[in-house]
């Protein structure tokens, strides 16, 4: 619609000055370094995921007057530990590993020492499991931005992408008794066991608002998918 405001994160990284709170040179340097770690991950957690999280985090951060330099660095690097987590089949947490990797990277890039601990905290807590709670505004925003990328239209696309990677079928309206990484690990199963819960976990008011919008779309989509496959009963 002409004149309508674009959805947060809908424009490519680097098209707008506000995409560079760190400056273009540092932003591209951190993104390039991060991409080296994402190349072997691909799929649902490739560089495009971090680019989307970066854009949405800056969108929320600007609205909430957060430290955009901290938020930008944390968003760009937040998943750099994923390849190591994958290699050991989840025996280590990518957030914990990635936080320490980020500390070294930021130090080597001459990132301001006063801000490194804040970035590391954001990355370490972006999963928010157990007692590893995001304590700063920037950490809460990164958490929300990361979770928002797993719901809505993008979340549905990622869920189908993952289902294809594990060889799951297109759809199964029955999720009871189904198992992860099986033929029944459909996008709908992901919606029922995980995606539908995310709207209640947001940590910021704007994150909550965006999550509710995306949740409503998911409900509509899966109702339509079920209708097209099974028809009206």
DSSP string, the chain: -TTPPPPTT-SPTTSSGGG-TT-HHHHHHHHHHHHHHHTTT-GGGSHHHHHHHHHHHHHHHHHTT--HHHHHHHHHHTTTTHHHHHHTTTSS-HHHHHHHHHHHHHHHTT--HHHHHHHHHHHHTSS--TT----SHHHHHHHHHHHHTTSHHHHHHHHHHHHHHHT--S--S--TT--TTSTT--HHHHHHHTGGGGGGS--SHHHHHHHHHHHHHHHHHHHHHHHHHH---
Q: What is the pLDDT of residue 2?
A: 39
Distance CA 71, CA 153 (A): 24
Q: What is the pLDDT of residue 7?
A: 57
Q: Return the half-sphere exposure (C-beta side, CA atoms, 13 A cut-off) of residue 114.
A: 2
Radius of gyration over alpha carbons of the chain, in Å? 18
Q: Look at phi and psi of residue 13 and say left if phi exceeds 0, alpha if psi is from -120 to 50, else beta.
A: beta
Give, in words, the CATH class of 152-230.
mainly alpha
Whether domain 20-138 has CATH 3.40.190.10: the reply is no
Q: What is the pLDDT of residue 13?
A: 44
Which residues of the chain have a pLDDT value below 70? 1-18, 39-45, 85-92, 130, 233
The pLDDT tens digits of the residues spanning 98-155 come to 999 999 999 999 999 999 999 999 999 998 776 789 999 999 999 999 999 999 999 9
Q: What is the pLDDT of residue 42?
A: 54
Domain residue ranges of the chain, discontinuous segments joined by +: 20-138, 152-230
Q: What is the pLDDT of residue 40?
A: 53
């Amino acid at each position: 619609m002409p004149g309508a405001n674009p959805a947060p994160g809908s424009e490519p990284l680097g098209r707008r000055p506000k995409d560079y709170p760190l400056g273009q040179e540092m932003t591209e340097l951190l993104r390039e370094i991060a991409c080296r770690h994402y190349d072997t991950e691909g799929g649902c957690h490739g560089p495009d995921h971090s680019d989307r999280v970066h854009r949405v985090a800056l969108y929320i951060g600007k609205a909430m007057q957060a430290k955009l330099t901290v938020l930008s660095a944390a968003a760009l690097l937040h998943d750099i530990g994923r390849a190591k987590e994958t290699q050991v089949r989840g025996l280590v947490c990518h957030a914990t590993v990635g936080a320490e990797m980020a500390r070294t990277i930021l130090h080597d890039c001459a990132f301001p020492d006063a801000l490194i601990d804040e970035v590391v905290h954001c990355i370490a807590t972006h999963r928010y499991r157990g007692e590893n709670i995001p304590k700063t505004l920037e950490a809460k925003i990164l958490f929300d931005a990361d979770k928002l990328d797993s719901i809505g239209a993008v979340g549905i696309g990622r869920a189908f992408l993952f289902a294809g990677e594990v060889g799951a079928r297109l759809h199964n309206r029955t999720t009871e008794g189904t198992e992860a990484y099986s033929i029944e690990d459909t996008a709908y199963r992901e919606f029922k066991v995980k995606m539908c819960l995310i709207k209640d976990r947001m940590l910021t008011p704007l994150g909550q608002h965006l999550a509710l919008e995306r949740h409503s779309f998911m409900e509509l989509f899966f109702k339509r998918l079920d209708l097209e496959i099974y028809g009206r009963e």
